Amino acid sequence: MRRPAKEQGGRAMLKLNGIRKVFNRRTASEKIALQEINLTLHPGDFVTIIGSNGAGKSTLMNIISGGMAPDCGTIEIDGEMVTGLSEYERARKIGRVFQDPMAGTAPTMTIEENLAVAFSRDRRRTLHRGVDKKRKELFREYLASLHLGLEHRLTAKAGLLSGGERQALSLLMATFTQPKVLLLDEHTAALDPARAQLITALTREVVERSKFTTLMVTHNMQQAIELGNRLIMMDAGQIILDVPEEEKKHLTIEDLLKKFALLKGVADDRLLLG
Amino acid sequence: MLYALTGSVEAGVIYALMALGVYLTFRILDFPDLTVDGSFATGGAVAAVMITNGYSPLLATLGAMLAGCVAGSVTGLLHTKGKINTLLSGIISMIALYSINLRIMGKANTPLLGADTLFTEISSFLSSLQPLSILAAVGVSVLLIKWAIDWFLDTEIGLAIRATGDNTKMIRSFSANTDNMKIIGLSLSNGLVALSGALIAQYQEFADISMGIGIIIIGLASVIMGEAIFGHSSIRRATFAVIGGAIVYRLIIMFALRIGLDPNDLKLLTAIIVVIALVSSRMIDTWKDRRVRTPKEEPLAAAGQGARGESHAET
Ligand SMILES: Nc1ncnc2c1ncn2[C@@H]1O[C@H](COP(=O)(O)OP(=O)(O)OP(=O)(O)O)[C@@H](O)[C@H]1O
Ligand SMILES: [Mg+2]
């Protein structure tokens, strides 16, 4: 299913080089959120990221999307340097789903209007009608793929949807225009177990269908192991474990916990010694 | 009485343009823009000066509108590029415009008595329809503008502007330049406000440096009252309601003056109307919510509700 390793060596879809981020520099509350992150994703890679609270996962996502600027380091997407681009400029290439179900949709706008907003992501917005007959048909078709019945509620306000429905809609909107990179930051964390499962399944389906290059942050180890072809563990602003595809296939939660304790111990020792 | 009634409705329809402008910022962009107090008078000043200098009333009116757009863009730039907060950037523009308006007119007021205005032209053109010719002409134009606003807010750019007011983080992740969206919105809004000012100056046959003072409150009163009375379930409905609200406001003022209100107390009355409209629409919302909800759920629901009642999120 995946590309052969030889070809993978060639093209990078997302490339982070020496990313560093310090908050509140030169104050008492100085906090090194990321130190020297190097990470390369090849086309179609689906990487899950785990790590304790405050490890820097969200900071990493925000730096990739342009919501924050790194102190140093570069970001390349599909061979193009995007470090200097603003958030909205980069957004043409990046699809995002947030942890907060409220964050991904405009609540006072209808479902079809929200989809229209997502539809114009990778093009120049014009005075063309946002929702015309043809697009409506397309939106309906897309919504039907969620199996949530949303295709019958095109003109309902997005604010009236449940958290799970909204997150499903957000996922659809984020992937509507085939982004080069898909960023999911704990996008199932605010949902009840059943809804979380639904969104997890949808994520798997959507990513597999279109082979999106994906980074997904989660606190659910089971989810991190089941999804994707590579797993990364972060701690204190560093990538402390990087599990490749072959190894990940046999990975269990116990393995992960053991490795985490071991690595964390090492990291803490190093901190103490250093 | 009938004369006063048509007069009030005429004025209401003209002020409705200003209220539509306030609706664009206050509701669509979620940006309480105080520039309007300045740009309303700018509209009046530019139109009056251009007319007294011999330009055609139509050109003068368009010039006024353009001046309003510029004023709105400046507020937008102050807020987006200068990172000045919404209220303050509006106040700065408003104060600056006071001096600019004086510069435009060269004095505190410009009379238009006897000059050709859009209204003298309409009256002579449609004289057979007197005395409703002005109301008809103004009414049709305002409805056309309402239709244009509705259309615009449904375009791709319009949707991005609405999303900017609704969820900035989200629309930025869909590659809209939110700074530009705010500037466009503010510019259009103040263009409408200045247009309204230009028409009022021609209607009352003078422009005055203080004609804009408190206009923002009148705009808010129209928006809030209109939405409460006529509903705001969709954009089309809401823009219609705003026009209705502006007319209702004029009628209330007319009756208040008829029953002996001191004209000096008008601004106080307006402020009271806004407070009543705000508080009562809030109370009506809560009351409706209560009725829908089963008593068991109530304690949970009270926490953290926005003005527009975001209350349906599932846990
Ligand atoms: N804007 C900010 N200002 C100051 N410190 C910040 C800021 N954002 C994040 N931090 C700090 O940087 C560190 C990394 O935060 P980040 O949100 O990336 O963690 P995370 O791995 O996403 O954690 P979680 O699992 O809780 O979401 C934390 O210690 C946090 O307190
Ligand atoms: Mg986080």
Same domain, yes or no, for B249 and B283?
A: no
Q: What pLDDT is attached to residue B313?
A: 37
Give residue-wise pLDDT tens across range B105-164. 999 999 998 889 998 888 777 765 566 788 889 999 999 999 999 999 999 999 999 999
The model's pTM = 0.89
> Is residue B301 over pLDDT 80?
no
Domain boundary among B261, B282, B298: B261
The 3-state DSSP class for residue B76 equals: helix
CA angle centred on B239, ends B79 and B42, rounded to 5°: 50
Give the span between the Cα atoms of A97 and A106, in whole angstroms. Answer: 13
Q: What pLDDT is attached to residue B61?
A: 97
Same domain, yes or no, for B286 and B205?
A: no
Same domain, yes or no, for B312 and B185?
A: no
What is the ipTM score, two decimals?
0.90
Same domain, yes or no, for B146 and B23?
A: yes
Q: What pLDDT is attached to residue A254?
A: 87
> Is residue B1 over pLDDT 90?
no
Q: What pLDDT is attached to residue A269?
A: 53
CB atoms within 10 A of CB B115: 17
Nearest to B250 by CA among B2, B13, B3, B1: B13
Of the two residues A252 and B310, the one the predictor is more confident about is A252
Could you identify the atom of ligand 1 that is nearest to the CA of residue A21?
Answer: 12
Range of the domain at B303: 265-315
Residue among B155, B160, B310 minimizing CB distance to A128: B155
Cα B40 to Cα A100, B117, B201, B219, distances in angstroms: 41, 18, 10, 11
Nearest to A111 by CA among A148, A139, A92, A147: A139
Decide the pairing of beta strands A46-51 and A14-23: unpaired
Same domain, yes or no, for B29 and B108?
A: yes
Same domain, yes or no, for B289 and B217?
A: no
CB atoms within 10 A of CB A113: 27
> Is residue B52 over pLDDT 50?
yes
Task: Please indicate if any CB of chain B lies within 8 Å of the CB of A193.
Answer: no
Question: Into how many domains does chain B fold?
Answer: 2
- Distance (Å) from the C-alpha of residue B187 to the closest C-alpha of chain A? 17
Give residue-wise pLDDT tens across range B218-250. 999 999 999 989 999 999 999 999 999 999 999
What is the DSSP secondary-structure string of B94-162? HHHHHHHHHHHHSSSEEE-TTS--HHHHHHHHTGGGTTSHHHHHHHHHHHHHHHHHHHHHTBHHHHHHH
Same domain, yes or no, for B205 and B228?
A: yes
Q: What pLDDT is attached to residue B297?
A: 42
Name the amino acid, one letter, at B242. Answer: V
Cα B243 to Cα B118, B193, B238, B270, B282, distances in angstroms: 21, 13, 9, 17, 21
- Whether residues A108 and B308 touch (CB distance < 8 A) is answered with yes
Q: What pLDDT is attached to residue A11?
A: 85
Q: What pLDDT is attached to residue A7?
A: 47
Query: Chain A: residue nearest B28 by CA?
Result: A108
Q: Cβ(A59) to ligand 1 under 6 A? A: yes
Domain ranges of chain A: 14-105+181-273, 106-160
Give the span between the Cα atoms of A77 and A13, in whole angstroms. Answer: 5
Is residue A236 within 8 Å of A55, Cβ to Cβ? yes
Token readout for B176 is 């809209």
Nearest to A172 by CA among A140, A213, A195: A140
Best of B149, B157, B159, B227 to mutate (most A CBs within 10 Å, chain A): B159
Q: What pLDDT is attached to residue B281?
A: 80
Q: What pLDDT is attached to residue B132?
A: 79
Same domain, yes or no, for B221 and B275?
A: no
What CATH number is given to the structural domain containing B151? 1.10.3470
Q: What pLDDT is attached to residue A61?
A: 96
Residue among B157, B172, B314 minimizing CB distance to A88: B172
Give the span between the Cα atoms of A225 and B219, in whole angstroms. Answer: 57
Q: What pLDDT is attached to residue B300?
A: 40
Same domain, yes or no, for B145 and B183?
A: yes
Give residue-wise pLDDT tens across range A9-33. 568 999 999 999 999 998 888 999 9
> Is residue B305 over pLDDT 70?
no
Give residue-wise pLDDT tens across range B177-217. 999 999 999 999 999 999 999 999 999 999 999 999 999 99
> Is residue B298 over pLDDT 70?
no
pLDDT mean by block of 10 residues, chain A; 274 residues: 49 94 91 94 96 93 95 95 95 95 95 96 94 96 92 95 94 94 95 91 94 95 92 93 89 86 67 44
- Whether residues A91 and B312 touch (CB distance < 8 A) is answered with no
Q: What pLDDT is attached to residue B5?
A: 87
CA A187 to chain centroid, in Å, comes to 8
Size of interface A-B (CB pairs under 8 A): 100
Please, which residues 140-169 of chain B have a Cβ atom closer than 8 Å to chain A?
A: 152, 154-160, 162-163, 166-167, 169
Same domain, yes or no, for B274 and B153?
A: no
Q: What pLDDT is attached to residue B114?
A: 85
Same domain, yes or no, for B99 and B240?
A: yes
Determine the distance separating the centroid of ligand 2 and the alpha carbon of B79, expressed in angstroms.
29
Task: Please indicate if any CB of chain B lies within 8 Å of the CB of A105.
Answer: yes
- Distance (Å) from the C-alpha of residue A43 to the closest C-alpha of chain B? 21
CATH 3.40.50.300 fits A14-105+181-273, yes or no: yes
Cα A235 to Cα A32, A56, A221, distances in angstroms: 11, 7, 15
Task: Please indicate if any CB of chain A lies within 8 Å of the CB of B173.
Answer: yes
Give residue-wise pLDDT tens across range B75-122. 999 999 999 999 999 999 999 999 999 999 999 999 998 889 998 888
Give residue-wise pLDDT tens across range A59-104. 999 999 999 999 999 999 999 999 999 999 999 999 999 999 999 9
Stretch among B214-218, B250-254, B287-291 having the lowest mean pLDDT: B287-291
Of the two residues A183 and B310, the one the predictor is more confident about is A183
* Integer-rounded Cα radius of gyration of chain A: 19
Q: Cβ(A30) to ligand 1 under 6 A? A: no
The end-to-end CA distance of chain B, in Å, is 58
The percentage of residues in chain B with a pLDDT greater than 70, rounded to a whole number, is 90
Give the span between the Cα atoms of B180 and A215, in whole angstroms. Answer: 30
Q: What pLDDT is attached to residue B155?
A: 97
Nearest to A212 by CA among A68, A72, A17, A77: A77
Nearest CA to ligand 1 atom 25: A53
Q: Cβ(A33) to ligand 1 under 6 A? A: yes
Contacts of A126 in chain B (CB under 8 A): 155-157
Q: Where are the beta strands (DSSP E) in chain B?
A: 109-111, 206-208
> Is residue B9 over pLDDT 50?
yes
Q: What pLDDT is attached to residue B292?
A: 63
Same domain, yes or no, for B237 and B277?
A: no
Q: What pLDDT is attached to residue B128?
A: 58
